[in-house]
Amino acid sequence: MENGGIEEADDALPVPTPLNGRRYRPVGSSDRAVIQMTSMEPGSSSAASIDAVVTPQPPRNLKPDANLTVDPSMREGSPDDHATSGGSQGDSKLELFGFDSLVNILGLKSMTGEQIQAPSSPRDGEDVAITIGRPKETGPKFGTMMGVFVPCLQNILGIIYYIRFTWIVGMAGVWQSLVLVSFCGACTFLTGISLSAIATNGAMKGGGPYYLIGRALGPEVGVSIGLCFFLGNAVAGSMYVLGAVETFLDAVPSAGLFQKSVTVVNNTLVNGTETAGTSTISTPSLHDLQVYGVIVTILLCFIVFGGVKIINKVAPAFLIPVLFSLLCIYLGVFIAPRHNAPKGITGLSITTFKDNWGSEYQRTNNAGVPDPSGSIYWDFNALVGLFFPAVTGIMAGSNRSASLKDTQRSIPIGTLSATLTTTAMYLFSVLLFGALATREELLTDRLLTATVAWPAPAVIYIGIILSTLGAALQSLTGAPRLLAAIANDDILPVLNYFKVSEGSEPHAATLFTAFICICCVVIGNLDLITPTITMFFLLCYAGVNLSCFLLDLLDAPSWRPRWKFHHWSLSLVGALLCVVIMFLISWSFTVVSLALASLIYYYVSIKGKAGDWGDGFKSAYFQLALRSLRSLGANQVHPKNWYPIPLIFCRPWGKLPENVPCHPKLADFANCMKKKGRGMSIFVSIIDGDYHELAEDAKTACRQLDAYIDYKRCEGVAEIIVAPTMSDGFRSIVQTMGLGNLKPNIVVMRYPEIWRRENLTQIPSTFVSIINDCIIANKAVVIVKGLDEWPNEYQRQYGTIDLYWIVRDGGLMLLLSQLLLTKESFESCKIQVFCISEEDTDAEELKADVKKFLYDLRMQAEVIVVTMKSWESHMESSSTGAQQDDSHEAYTSAQQRIRTYLDEMKETAQRERQPLMENGRQVVVNEQKVDKFLYTMLKLNSTILRYSRMAAVVLVSLPPPPLNHPSYFYMEYMDLLVENVPRMLIVRGYTRDVVTFFT
């Protein structure tokens, strides 16, 4: 429907009542389209109404006779409401030309990222049902408690606390255990703060941390870290399953299908001394762990297939027994020792607390029992890797962001509450366990929490099993949704199998997650799995912190998080903590995880599709460019820091196909002006005409030019200008293009070789105008003659690069020759510098001076001095007729054409009784100077043909257009200069030096 199109039908189209309490009056077919907004707040006496008045017009996409079926539930008023709703309409009217009642609704939805389908035209005789404002049916939405806090709590209160935490306290001692918990808790808390800041900066879709990282750091980083985090969640599910099965087999040994493993340890090391004796430790069989683990994983998958609604109903059944088991542990600690307690359980004792204050790192066997001949040596770094998975549940709520009612409220409150609660519980437990039992008991009793629990160990067994199963359920729920969110972003085509529609369950992703979980369960070693999980989670946490750090530091206008308790320094500390923990645990695991993320990043950058997410890196580039531009200011750039910024004039003249935006070889030449590809080019084309009429054509041409630049792999940007004439357009470009010292400093264009052949009489004036504009604007000029023969990057050239250095140009011609040598096409060439001097000049002295000059500039070139007879000497000898070289015929032809053109100008001036005029300006013709210019060009061309006929490319100084000479004359001079030279660069520098002697 076009703007301004409002359906004229028998019934008025209703306009929905927004959620903020304002009512939009329906538009009737018999009156002007008046939309009234009246405050609906109770008790408001100062509510103002705003009437938007437009003239209705029939729309294009709905026929006037179409039957409109309107949702009855949306009828909220009648067309007569306008006459009865307020009497101050004349005081507050806003004329909106072309207002459409559907525009605002669709526009607001598009801002939230929803896919809005454009209304299609109905067929003849077809009823059209229009329903406005009816919400789309979606899945269940959950609040802070069930959506974030409970999942986080279930993931954090896992197997590590029950069967490893007392052992960690015995190995590290009380004070190092406090440091360990504080260290890991600070990492997750700072990550939670960063997560809260990003999550409250706007609407958040599914994907949790992947969504946040990807939108902040770009699709490549987001997908690489997101897939690693998905693997971490999938592997974590296997850890929880193994913990539940191991606890079940310890509690019910008769359930084992295979023979149990028995470990006998002699001479246990306690308190630094070997204690004689024998310790027998029974552990479940590996095959039992594998069989039961696979069965449990499959059963959990059936629950996950039921959807989030069923999982949230089941979650309390898992969590409540866990909380009850924790209460039983604390009660048992306070009433210990009981009558049947082992000797090592002393109860809360200050003596035991002092004995356990220090660390006692030692070797253990694979079962974790101290053994001087054991294969594993534990230290603080190793304990960090073992304990950190116990605090990695903070992302469980954000993983299910698509199922939350209010992500901006639930994620910060739920995540940070769960983090603080569990960290406090861990710190309190360190103090309790350190004062509860001797070090030997802490190290040898794998289930000390069950031993001390009141009233019986069975409560703890049930708590452990339900806790681990609940955590596994959360992992198997979050991981598939994370993978589906990555697939739905359509970055990697290989993940298309895991795409799901909105509100659907990710069944394919769930099956894939279950497959990974089963593979890890088959490994059966809990201590081997936990470091892998730790690395993946830490990689994700570091990405979240870096995302918040980047966004907070850049502070773009769109960065307005509701969570105010954050700062870029906290995010930076959190990221550094994550990196430190990774290397503390294992540098080898760190390198492997970083290598995996790098491989995924590289694969996404090659095979992935671009995601226009406005990521922070682009904002960082923008900020960096602004700061660099401000630091450069408008001062002149020192020659040591000078870079060519060419303005490539794409289609000033010459005939190209309509779909070809630029000469194919022009970008090849632009690349030759850059050293190792560094530098920026600006490709400009001018369209003659009126901007209002040709604006769309200009956009189309700009897209074509962009595609050309990408195809030629040239770093540059495209600009299309619409102007009445080419001269006016270029004059605007040369004045306004660029900012500060990033303005283009060299104008590059083709030489108009076809102007006489195609009889393009307007080219001389335009050509001269462009050169004069460049001189006034202090822009260097490079004109390429023979562009059709310019080599590409695969065509190797041999021979010489000849420079005819006539006037001082700041060293631009010398620099261009050096830049040409850096390209593969010209790297086999040698440079020759021709110095043009008059006959009475000391050639040897000039040659020595130029050699010394080039040596100081670190340029290797052969210097050749060529003497040329001056115009005055030529007139004295009157040897013009003796000219016998190849350019003599061109010279005489140019003289004849100039005389003919001059005679026509004089005849026109005589007839109109005015002085000689060209393009509205007066010209002064001195025929002697014309002959002098022609002679100079003739001699220079003859010299080039004599010495440089076989050169790969010739560079020559560009003479400025003589003042008050007709443009036609200048083109004749230039044609004579380039006659019979196949490939030439005509160069004019500017007042600034671009090369320097100094370091």
DSSP per-residue letters across 533-552 = HHHHHHHHHHHHHHHHHHHH
How much is the average pLDDT of 78-104? 40
Return the percentage of the chain with pLDDT > 70, whole number.
76
pLDDT value, residue 431: 94
**pTM attached to this predicted model:** 0.62
Q: Which CATH superfamily is domain 640-785 in?
A: HUPs (3.40.50.620)
How much is the average pLDDT of 928-950? 86
pLDDT tens for 234-247 read: 888 888 888 888 88
pLDDT band at 21 (very low <50, low <70, confident <90, very high): very low
Which segment of 93-97, 134-138, 466-470, 603-607 scores lowest on mean pLDDT? 93-97
pLDDT tens for 177-218 read: 999 999 999 999 999 999 888 888 877 776 777 887 887 778
Contact in structure between 940 and 741 (CB atoms under 8 Å): no
Task: Measure the CA angle with vertex 106, ends 504 and 99; round to 5°.
Answer: 170
Residue 105 has pLDDT above 50, yes or no: no
Please state, in angstroms and rounded to a whole number, the distance separating the CA atoms of residues 34 and 52: 5
pLDDT value, residue 134: 42
**Start-to-end CA span in the chain (Å):** 66
Please state, in angstroms and rounded to a whole number, the distance separating the CA atoms of residues 643 and 655: 32
pLDDT band at 872 (very low <50, low <70, confident <90, very high): low
585 CB-near residues (< 8 Å, 6+ apart): 381, 382, 384, 385, 388, 531, 534, 535
Which segment of 326-340, 361-375, 725-739 scores lowest on mean pLDDT? 361-375
Place of tokens 């703890």: 460
pLDDT band at 512 (very low <50, low <70, confident <90, very high): very high
pLDDT band at 71 (very low <50, low <70, confident <90, very high): very low
pLDDT value, residue 154: 73
Burial (Cβ within 10 Å: 0-12, 13-18, ≥19) of residue 585? buried
Strand partners, 721: 686
Return the percentage of the chain with pLDDT > 90, whole number.
13
Strand pairing category for 716-723 and 261-270: unpaired
3-class SS letters over 64-130: CCCCEEECHHHCCCCCCHHHHCCCCHHHCEEECCCCCCCHHHHHHHHHCCCCCCCCCCCCCCCCEEE
Residue 573 has pLDDT above 90, yes or no: yes
Place of tokens 């959506």: 147
pLDDT tens for 759-813 read: 677 888 889 999 999 989 888 899 999 888 888 778 888 889 999 877 677 788 8
pLDDT value, residue 76: 39
Please give the mean pLDDT across all residues of the chain. 77
Residue 480 has pLDDT above 60, yes or no: yes
Which segment of 26-40, 363-377, 504-518, 654-668 scores lowest on mean pLDDT? 26-40
Give the best-scoring range by mean pLDDT among 24-28, 110-114, 571-575. 571-575
How much is the average pLDDT of 135-150? 69
How much is the average pLDDT of 642-650? 84
- DSSP per-residue codes, 691-734: HHHHHHHHHHHHHHHHHHHHHTT--EEEEEEEESSHHHHHHHHH
Residue 960 has pLDDT above 80, yes or no: yes
Please state, in angstroms and rounded to a whole number, the distance separating the CA atoms of residues 822 and 533: 49
Strand pairing category for 746-750 and 780-785: parallel
- CA dihedral over 419, 421, 422, 426, signed as positive or negative: positive
pLDDT value, residue 634: 60
pLDDT value, residue 396: 73
pLDDT value, residue 247: 82
pLDDT value, residue 655: 63
pLDDT band at 6 (very low <50, low <70, confident <90, very high): very low
More confident residue, 742 or 649: 649
pLDDT value, residue 281: 59
Residue 113 has pLDDT above 50, yes or no: no
Query: Domains of the chain: which residue ranges?
Result: 144-265+280-607, 640-785, 801-877+886-998
Residue 478 has pLDDT above 90, yes or no: no
pLDDT band at 278 (very low <50, low <70, confident <90, very high): low
Please state, in angstroms and rounded to a whole number, the distance separating the CA atoms of residues 901 and 952: 36
pLDDT tens for 290-313 read: 899 999 999 988 888 877 777 777
pLDDT band at 263 (very low <50, low <70, confident <90, very high): low
Rg (CA), the chain: 41
Percentage helix, strand, coil, to 5, in the chain?
50, 15, 35
Q: Which CATH superfamily is domain 144-265+280-607 in?
A: Amino acid/polyamine transporter I (1.20.1740.10)
Question: In whole angstroms, what separates CA 473 from the centre of its chain?
Answer: 34
More confident residue, 105 or 664: 664
Place of tokens 């293009």: 737
**CA within 13 Å, CB half, 612:** 1
More confident residue, 269 or 541: 541
Strand partners, 427: none
Which segment of 17-21, 833-837, 925-929 scores lowest on mean pLDDT? 17-21
pLDDT value, residue 611: 63
Q: Judge if 144-265+280-607 and 640-785 fold alike in CATH terms.
A: no
Contact in structure between 458 and 468 (CB atoms under 8 Å): no
Contact in structure between 347 and 157 (CB atoms under 8 Å): no
Residue 652: cis peptide before it, omega within 30 degrees of 0:
no
Please state, in angstroms and rounded to a whole number, the distance separating the CA atoms of residues 7 and 69: 13
pLDDT value, residue 261: 61
How much is the average pLDDT of 560-568? 83
Which segment of 291-295, 397-401, 727-731, 966-970 scores lowest on mean pLDDT? 397-401
Contact in structure between 684 and 737 (CB atoms under 8 Å): yes
pLDDT value, residue 676: 64
Closest CA to 82 of 140, 23, 11: 23
Residues shown for the chain: 999
Cα-flanking dihedrals φ and ψ of residue 781, to 5°? -130, 135
Contact in structure between 455 and 328 (CB atoms under 8 Å): yes
pLDDT band at 19 (very low <50, low <70, confident <90, very high): very low
- DSSP per-residue codes, 633-653: TTSPPPGGG----EEEE--SS
How much is the average pLDDT of 49-60? 40
449 CB-near residues (< 8 Å, 6+ apart): 161, 162, 163, 165, 166, 329, 460
pLDDT value, residue 180: 94
pLDDT value, residue 876: 52
Residue 56 has pLDDT above 50, yes or no: no
